[in-house]
Structure 1
């Protein structure tokens, strides 16, 4: 099955990606010649990684009827010395008060199921062609 995302070139550094019924806008920051009107593509990538992990945390808690009140997830990332690529992600999941001890390890395993992270761990082949 082949899926697709179509990109429209907007004004200046703005881009729009059409995926299904959704349009995702991107731009570059002011200091890189953009308008700062939307997240950068890298911001979207990082947000997808964080929200994917959050999805698995939520699914786990819902399956066990565990309240998520007070639960937070933060992902910090460290850039490589050349400042171009990320070389480390650190996930920090703050549990709500009273989170059952017996489910802590299982919750970590559930968050580790994130498909975006798994995709990074097993990268696909990339092809580029002019048509």
Structure 2
């Protein structure tokens, strides 16, 4: 198989395991899978692990870029994420009023000699990472045969 062009991810059955998938990008390749409890072989992160890691890495990278550009003494960022589902009626800031909604909880810890104003600004910037913006907007997924 040839490597995908930049900006394209190719997912194929890995040929081993029930749900194991090979994920290929232009320069990287890794496995994704389901845990044993869901019938997989736990050969890699789950699809939701990958979704959360996309948001987490984008958040941390965006914060690093901003801190470097503004001279903020940020040493390290830890982003902890969790996905669950909640009843729409329990969500005070949601447009949807019925059924279940996906909810991602993101906790960010900063290491460095930061004042309260810097911490507040970094939290504000976290919501501006490109993946956060993508997940927060309407998404259209077009599916067709190759």
Query: How many pairs are equivalent?
Result: 127
| Unaligned ranges ≥5, structure 1 | none
SS in 1 for 2:83: strand
1:127 corresponds to 2:131: no
- CA gap of 1:80–1:56, structure 2 versus 1, over 3 A, is same
| Unaligned ranges ≥5, structure 2 | 1-5, 88-99
Aligned to 2:19: 13
User: C-alpha distance in 2, partners of 1:6/1:71?
Assistant: 30
- CA gap of 1:97–1:120, structure 2 versus 1, over 3 A, is closer
Q: How far does the alpha carbon of each residue in 1:22-57 deviate from its partner, in whole angstroms, 9 at most, with x for none?
A: 113101110111111110111111111111111112
User: C-alpha distance in 1, partners of 2:10/2:78?
Assistant: 33
SS in 2 for 1:43: helix
TM-score, normalised via structure 1 length: 0.79
Conserved 8 A contact 2:74-2:112? no
TM-score, normalised via structure 2 length: 0.72
